[in-house]
Each structure stands twice: as structure tokens, then as C-alpha cells.
Chains A and B, each alone.
Chain A
Amino acid sequence: DTEVTQTPKHLVMGMTNKKSLKCEQHMGHRAMYWYKQKAKKPPELMFVYSYEKLSINESVPSRFSPECPNSSLLNLHLHALQPEDSALYLCASSQPYMAQYFGPGTRLLVL
């Protein structure tokens, strides 16, 4: 299984809502990532989990809260988002210093 799955595919939420994005991989990868991508821009790294521990936080606002329940799962909890947080959120996984496998993304719209 060489697939990274993400749910939901699309999400519309209000600024007062709480929602979660989910990511799953079964490739035995020990690193998992969250990226944010705005239209016609490259992906920007948000968080890195290595061996289920948060190793990189790229100064992401606290309204984004990552969680890694186990080596196969990665969540991104969303609370009190702003309209400018609307974007494609991509999850990826890899072995250290190897190619990253990306999921199809969750397209988020904040109203």
C-alpha cells in the first residue's frame, strides 16, 4: 500500500467552528507532515512529526493544532480559523531523508 489518504476531500467551516482533518498511511513511514498550499503557490511546510513526536512547527498559529495518535495517523485540529486560512491542506509521509508521499489534500474554505 503506497497511498496516503486524507479526509475529508472538501470542508467548509465558519470562523467559530471546530473541525479536524485526518491523514492515514500504511507504508511504515516514521515521518509525517502537514503542508498548506494557496492557489498557484508552492506548498508551505506547517508541521513535521518524526517517530510520533512533533519535531518541526513552522511558527504556525495556535488555531491549528496537530496530533499524531499513532505511527499511521495524523490529525490537524482547526479552531477559530480566519478566511485567509482557506487553502489546500496536504499531508505527506516518508522515511527520514527520503521522498515524500503526498495525499490528495483537503480543500478548506473558511467563511
Chain B
Amino acid sequence: SQQGEEDPQALSIQEGENATMNCSYKTSINNLQWYRQNSGRGLVHLILIRSNEREKHSGRLRVTLDTSKKSSSLLITASRAADTASYFCATEPGAQKLVFGQGTRLTINP
């Protein structure tokens, strides 16, 4: 069963704007990860945040984690056309079992 729920399901913005995606989950976790998938291809790992961390940055990406609310957000700043993809959060409740959210389809319009 899928643990994560993502919001919004689809997001369309203009190039240069910021994009924010949210993820909620149900059980306790060891870590939460964000992945990107370009149309019908393999997933690319973006960032991993551990349960004892609250915020993490990587380039134009900023991830926050609130374990009390069981939620996370991914912010992409200064979006580019190449950021067009599906973004998935994934939780690792334990034992190497990665459970993906439903994903957000992000479209960056030139």
C-alpha cells in the first residue's frame, strides 16, 4: 500500500517561478526521500532527509520535514524547463522498504 500522499497532483508554473510540492505520510520513518522521474524513464534521487533533520538544501532544492505533522515539502527555486517531470516522495518506514507517494506532475512553461 502507498503510504505517501502528495499535493498537488499536478502543478503548472512559468519558468523562473518557484514550485512547492507537499507530501504527507502515515507511519514513523527512518528517512524521507524525494525523486524525480522524466516521462516514463528511471527515477533520479534528489535529496534524502533523515527523521532527526528538519531542513536540507541541495542547489535549487529545499526540503523540509515535520515529523510531528508527518509531512514534508520540496521547494524548487527559479524553475527551468528542464525541471518538467514527476516528483515523488518516498518514505522508508524500515527494512529497506521504500514506499512512494502518488507523485506531483510538474510542468514548467517557457
Contact = CB atoms under 8 A, between A and B. Distances in A.
Given A42-B102, A97-B31, A55 B42 contact: no
B91 to A, nearest CB: 12
Interface string B35-60: 10000111111001000000000000
Give the size range of A's interface with the partner. 20 to 34
Interface string A91-106: 0101011111111110
Contact of A45 (B30, B97, B101): B97
Interface residues of B, number: 23
B107 to A, nearest CB: 14
Given A42-B100, A55-B95, A103 B42 contact: yes
Interface in A29-60: 31, 33, 41-45, 48, 50, 55-56
Interface in A65-111: 88, 90, 92, 94, 96-105, 107
Interface of A: 4, 31, 33, 41-45, 48, 50, 55-56, 88, 90, 92, 94, 96-105, 107
Interface of B: 2, 30-31, 33, 35, 40-45, 48, 88, 92, 95-103
